[in-house]
Amino acid sequence: MTTRSQRDFLKVQLLDTQYLKELAGDHPIMSIAFAEREQELRGEIAALPLGNKEARAVLFFSGEPVQGSQGIDASFAGRVLEPFQNMVMADYADRWHGVVGSRGRRTGEAKSRLLLTALPRGSFGLELTRADSDELFEEDQLADTLAHVTRLVEAASRSDEDFAAELDETAPRVIQNLKGFLDVVAKGKAGLRLESGDYRCSMNPIEANEAFNRVSSTITNDETLRISGVFRGALLESWRFDFVNDDGHKISGRIDENLTGEQVSLLAREFLDRHCIASAVKTTVLFKNGRVRTTYVLKGLEVEGN
């Protein structure tokens, strides 16, 4: 049970207890018992802070693939879980390792692996939980990623502007997997309620189809460039770079994941504040509402004239 569901459950119990306390009136025993239970429930609700994040997500489905709370079409369940897991892995790699390519293995992939741990009822749900790990900070990092993925899915179901705004810090590979996830939901004529921690989004089959069309209308183009200008430096911790081209425009972005820390350190020492040629991949994302987002990935630096 997610934090949001747990809070909702406690609130229902609180309302029932308050109703029973009113019925008990001035009864010397029952009125005191219900009053104590009311305070206990208020304390439990207060102990669940708003905005809580968890390394757990629950996907509840309704519509054609589901038969009440009895079961879900096995083929649909298999198809929908893969793009969701891929979306989480891509976002985790981008958010916590600073790099995520358009293809191939994602950095930190094993650390964002989710296990199918339960089948909650109430429509029909698939509960996904973080795999066991001894790493201290991985649970919080994965919880943050799942919160972002939940907000991303919600934004896709709401409006073009909400979706564009949520994608400002989202890697293109995450968009690709979001499209795949919503494609399965929409084609399956399913409704969805996604919960993680205190975050929740819901959509009926019609809204799911609109969300898929919105994401499908997002166009991503990659272009390889050679840019003349001055290299301003690189940060190994965030795996980012700064560059100023000959027109005076500042270009910031990610460093290629295929470069090692030693290679980046060497580039920083050799080219810092020097005029050179930067090889970079420019990615342009065009949203349905006309909004454009541009990102850069630095592939290398070389002396001008080479």
pLDDT tens digits, residue range 61-70? 999 999 877 8
Q: Which of 14-18, 215-219, 242-246 has the highest mean pLDDT?
A: 242-246
pLDDT value at residue 2: 63
Q: Which structure tokens are listed for 146? A: 């799942």
Beta strands in the chain (DSSP E): 56-63, 66-67, 71-72, 114-118, 124-130, 190-196, 199-203, 219-235, 240-245, 250-255, 275-286, 292-302
Contacts of range 263-272, beta carbons closer than 8 Å, 24 or more positions apart: 264/234, 264/236, 264/239, 265/236, 267/231, 267/234, 267/300, 267/301, 268/233, 268/234, 270/301, 271/231, 271/301, 272/231, 272/232, 272/233
pLDDT tens digits, residue range 18-50? 888 888 888 888 888 888 888 888 888 777 666
pLDDT value at residue 303: 92
CA distance 219 to 288: 8
Give, as one character, the DSSP assignment of residue 111: G
Percent of the chain with pLDDT over 70: 89
The region of weakest confidence among 1-15, 102-116, 186-200, 283-297 is 102-116
CATH architecture designation of domain 220-302:
Beta Barrel (2.40)
Return the higher-pLDDT residue of 286 and 251.
Answer: 251
Return the higher-pLDDT residue of 185 and 124.
Answer: 185
Average pLDDT over residues 272-276: 95
pLDDT confidence bin for 101, thresholds 50/70/90: very low
Bridge partners, residue 116, by sequence: 128
